[in-house]
Structure 1
Amino acid sequence: MTQITNTPYDALEVGQTASYSRTVEERDVQLFAAVSGDHNPLHLDSAFAAGTIFKERIAHGMFSGALISAAVACELPGPGTIYIGQTMRFTLPAKLGDTLTVRLEILEKLPKFRIRIATRVFNQRDELVVDGEAEILAPRKLQTVELTELPPITIG
């Protein structure tokens, strides 16, 4: 089992950073479409996507949003964090095979355990894919948790 430890509000500092990376795979796009209900052929149909400005299939934009959520929930501040809001501006498409890295930076500590965080996603060429900002409620106490092991999922 994997254990992770959060960073509580009192230990967070402006300028503090963290990152989280994941490569976009076919399985990710299929599962995201199934879970979200977004079956846009731009994401799922190569022939359709070839006729678009992208010339190939791209990952759902909100897949990047999900990676931001994972970074906030599992990296900084970590377990116990509660989302209040998120802004995102999509600057480039995320393509299958791209390795996306979420870079978080604490921008401001606000009253009542709230935090503003820069949430940026870069591809493997260090190009900005998503520029955003989150407001969260930080955990109040230090906590180490075991991550739940998920069962295998097959696409059929």
Structure 2
Amino acid sequence: MSLSSDPITIPEAVKQLLGIVQRLHRAFPHKAFTLDGRLVGDLGEVLVEQMYDLTLLEGLQKHYDAKTPDGKHVQIKATMKANVTFPVDHTPDYYLAVKIHPDGRLEEIFNGPGSIVREQIKGRKATKTNLHSISIGALRKVQGEVKATEKISLRR
């Protein structure tokens, strides 16, 4: 079975992926880029750090991924699909959701106070994963409520 029209075996694909992961880790040693479901998240965090005026936290932190220059906590969520997650048990100062397209392009979906997203999911019951799924479409709608002064700035 192949992954595309270009024949490749699963072992070959895994070897190539692991080679890429090793290269990414050497370039960005503060992220693991594991293939266990965190790969898209780690890629998103690195792309966001390069694009926005924030600093990633070292390793895995419980509720936040980065800090702004003035010390505000940022939760970053990246996807290649139609949904992202939002925490059940806390509201980050800032929430930054992005979509990574197959060509590697990063699209901002939501950039603003976590309280705006929290308002969209209020009333939902807690989940086993402690995360609520929220559609990109829903986030795009509420992005219009965010003032320019409430967004994390792009790097200069």
- Indicate whether the TM-score tops 0.5: no
Going by fraction, where is helix more abundant, 1 or 2? 2
Going by fraction, where is strand more abundant, 1 or 2? 1
What is the TM-score when the length of structure 1 is the normalising length?
A: 0.27
More relative contact order, 1 or 2 (CA 8 Å, 6+ apart):
1
